């Protein structure tokens, strides 16, 4: 039981970290000049970052539900 509570807090910490990181990414995207377009490398970088965040949440949720998060 104690291990499950610890896993839940690890998952909450994961979500808080992802929310903060997503806020930084969104702030960076909004701070750019609206008239300039993102270059190919920047688009690929932000796509990879967002995909990684989604995969991290999915894997963390699956591990927590399976009882193997930590």
Which pLDDT does position 43 carry in this prediction?
81
Cβ-Cβ contacts under 8 Å for 10 (sequence gap 6 or more)? 69, 70
In this prediction the pTM is: 0.64
The pLDDT value given to residue 39: 81
Q: What is the mean pLDDT of each run of 10 residues along the chain (70 residues)?
A: 68 84 82 70 86 86 71
| pLDDT for the residue numbered 57 | 83
How many CB atoms neighbour CB 7 within 10 A? Answer: 19
What are the structural domain ranges in the chain? 2-66
12-25 pLDDT per residue, tens:
888 888 889 888 88
- The per-residue pLDDT for 47 is 86
Cα-Cα-Cα-Cα dihedral sign, residues 19, 25, 27, 30: negative
């Amino acid at each position: 039981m104690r291990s499950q509570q610890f896993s839940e807090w690890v998952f909450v910490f994961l979500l808080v970290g992802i929310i903060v990181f997503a806020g930084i990414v969104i702030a960076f995207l909004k701070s750019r000049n609206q008239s300039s377009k993102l270059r190919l490398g920047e688009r690929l970088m932000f796509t990879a970052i967002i995909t990684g965040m989604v995969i991290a949440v999915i894997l963390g949720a699956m591990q927590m539900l399976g009882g193997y998060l930590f």
